[in-house]
Amino acid sequence: MRDQSTSQASGPLAGRRIVEFAGIGPGPFACMMLADMGAEVVTLDRIGAKKNLKAVAVRGRKVVELDLKDKAAIAQVLDLLDSADALIEGFRPGVMERLGLGPDAVMARNPKLVYGRMTGWGQDGPLAQAAGHDINYISVTGALAAIGPKDKPVPPLNLVGDFGGGALYLVVGVLAALLEASKSGKGQVVDAAMCDGAASLMSMFFDMAAMGRWTEQRESNFLDGGAHFYGVYECGCGNFISIGSIEPQFYALLRQHAGLTDAAFEAQMDRKAWPVLRQKLTAVFKSKTRAEWCKIMEGTDICFAPILTMAEAPKHPHNTARGIFIERHGVTQPAPAPRFSRTPSAIREAEMAEIGEIMSAWKAAR
């Protein structure tokens, strides 16, 4: 695994300028993606923040420390935003307005600016001013209630709210607004709320529920661990594997390679049979180690994969061949995604900078 750092801008967003107001979670993750794709991201952080420039979440940025309670600093920020393409902030609604940096004030000076706002509850609504975290945002959208075993829901890390429903929707919204601004010459506010995004991610399940193909009881559906042919199994060594043999032809291969000759397995889609079939399959997978099952099933159309830890994942042959993980400053981390054929993304070094020198460079390039 080699270090892929560079000081050169690369990627489809090269030349775009984004000002980030430092935060935690989805905002920094979104800006990491935009920086990987070539945008010049300037992060405005509080004085003495002691930002770790080697951290994954701040890779590719120029970090400026300043006091946003100081009027002179606010004036500098407004000058900087005059030359920016987009702004990203993750404060509670009203904070930027009180600083004198709300959309009306900023976009009056730079009408083409895309103003990205990342919150949990959104810019309005009865919960807009309430504190919250990923687990709360996915709770009210139906997502958390659908994940986990029968006895209780289980938080799926903070992938669904913070990063899936938050950061990725913010990135999509900002890119769409930048594309539209290039035609109209007018920016707009992108209100990216984690509750909105998490609800959007549930679209397929709401659709299946409406068709009577999904129940609200966990572990009773074919994608939530209820079906014996789509789930996680422990092997004889204590490690785990996953199978997703939904389609009949894939299920037939599962039966063939796992030696499932019992006629009971012919009732693949009989929900009443699933609990018993899961017990039978549990015993089968415990008869061999994960390594043995990999030799039998990996690379087939069974839809099989070993469940790897974060330490194991970078060493998997597929991940190694594609360079899915890279090493930077001695830290193993995911490489930029997605991939571009002509303007590849790259990780640039983060660095401390002065707002004055950035403004001078941006104005000179206008």
Q: Which are the catalytic amino acids?
A: 133, 162
With CA atoms as reference, report the closest residue to 4 among 82, 81, 60: 60
Biggest CA pair distance of the chain = 78
**Total residue count of the chain as it appears in this document:** 366
What sign for the dihedral angle of Cα 80, 86, 88, 89? positive
SS3 annotation, the chain = CCCCEECCCCCCCCCCEEEEECCCCHHHHHHHHHHHCCCEEEEEECCCCCCCCCCHHHCCEEEEECCCCCHHHHHHHHHHHCCCCEEEECCCCCHHHHCCCCHHHHHHHCCCCEEEEEECCCCCCCCCCCCCCHHHHHHCCCCHHHCCCCCCCCCCCCHHHHHHHHHHHHHHHHHHHHHHHHHHCCCCEEEEEHHHHHHHHCHHHHHHHHCCCCCCCCCCCCCCCCCCCEEEEECCCCCEEEEECCCHHHHHHHHHHHCCCCHHHHCCCCHHHHHHHHHHHHHHHCCCCHHHHHHHHCCCCCCEEECCCCCCHHHCHHHHHHCCEEEECCEEEECCCCCCCCCCCCEECCEECCHHHHHHHHHHHC
Give the whole-angstrom CA distance, residue 6 versus residue 336: 13
The values of phi and psi at residue 75, to 5°, are: -60, -40
CB 278, CB 264: distance < 8 Å: no
CB 218, CB 153: distance < 8 Å: yes
